[in-house]
């Protein structure tokens, strides 16, 4: 007796696996995990499972599906789940998480960044400044100015300078001048602040 082949659908491909999307999210098949992520976008309370899978996911298309599900289906729960990825050693995952957070309602994101701006790792603080700089929120400039005035690590401050300049907010010039006074012997700070003055003077 010959082997019975798996039944295929009318398009000539095997039918997609059925079952609970939470279980399929742990499938060995990336296509099944991707479909599960799409389905979980509309399931209340699924953000924790999606973020947990994201931390282990190495398939880029599944990562994208998970991030899309979090962005469109679970912003309130997704924000605290995504912020820890700013500490990830995986640059691709970290940048994808930051880009997703930047697309979420800023009122959900900004209240959570204080702890990350005080993180012991200066790289995490830099990534947090980059995140804050892209948030269209009234408190954005106050957060960046606080970094300029109080942050001890010069590279974090330079990230804040870049954010201020990109935002095109000349009211931050006094804070930039104070930064230059705090690091009087740093040529990069001096160059960056002077460049900001020139840019704002040009309108």
Domain count, the chain: 2
pLDDT at 76: 92
**Contact in structure between 37 and 69 (CB atoms under 8 Å):** yes
Residues 6 or more apart whose CB falls under 8 angstroms from that of 37 comprise: 21, 25, 50, 53, 62, 65, 66, 68, 69
Domain C-terminal end among 104, 137, 172 = 104
Q: Are 37 and 50 in contact (CB under 8 A)?
A: yes
In whole numbers, what is the pLDDT of the chain averaged over residues?
90
Say if residue 13's pLDDT is above 70: no
| CA 143 centroid distance within chain | 17
How many residues in total does the chain contain? 203
User: Are 26 and 97 part of one and the same domain?
Assistant: yes
Asked which of 104, 135, 157 is the last residue of a domain, the reply is 104
Domain identity same for 133 and 86: no
Sequence-distant (≥ 6) Cβ neighbours of residue 166 within 8 angstroms: 133
154-179: average pLDDT: 92
> What range defines the domain where residue 115 resides?
111-203
Has residue 199 been placed in a domain? Answer: yes
- The reply to whether 198 and 130 lie within a common domain is yes
Beta strands in 49-105 (DSSP E): none
Q: Find the largest Cα–Cα distance for the chain.
A: 86
CATH at residue 55: 1.25.10
Residues 115 and 162 both lie in one domain: yes
pLDDT band at 17 (very low <50, low <70, confident <90, very high): low
Q: Rounded CA gap, 198 and 101, in Å?
A: 31
Supply the pTM of this predicted model: 0.86
CA distance 100 to 105: 10
Confidence (pLDDT) at 3: 40
């Amino acid at each position: 007796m010959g082997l019975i082949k798996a039944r295929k659908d009318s398009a000539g491909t095997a039918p997609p696996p059925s079952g609970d999307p939470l279980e399929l999210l742990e499938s060995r098949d990336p296509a099944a995990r991707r479909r599960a992520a799409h389905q979980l976008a509309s399931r209340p309370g699924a953000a924790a499972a999606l973020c947990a899978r994201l931390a282990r996911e190495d398939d880029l298309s599944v990562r994208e599906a998970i991030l899309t599900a979090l962005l469109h289906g679970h912003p309130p729960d997704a924000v605290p789940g995504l912020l820890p990825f700013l500490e990830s050693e995986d640059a691709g995952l970290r940048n994808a998480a930051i880009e997703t957070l930047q697309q979420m309602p800023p009122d959900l994101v900004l209240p959570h960044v204080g702890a990350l701006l005080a993180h012991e790792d200066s790289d995490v603080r830099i990534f947090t400044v980059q995140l804050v700089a892209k948030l269209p929120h009234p408190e954005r400039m106050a957060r960046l100015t606080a970094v300029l005035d109080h942050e001890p690590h010069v590279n974090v401050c330079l990230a804040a300078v870049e954010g201020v300049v990109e935002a095109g907010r000349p009211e931050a010039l006094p804070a930039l001048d104070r930064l230059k006074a705090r690091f009087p012997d740093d040529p990069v700070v001096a160059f960056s602040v002077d460049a900001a003055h020139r840019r704002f003077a040009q309108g």
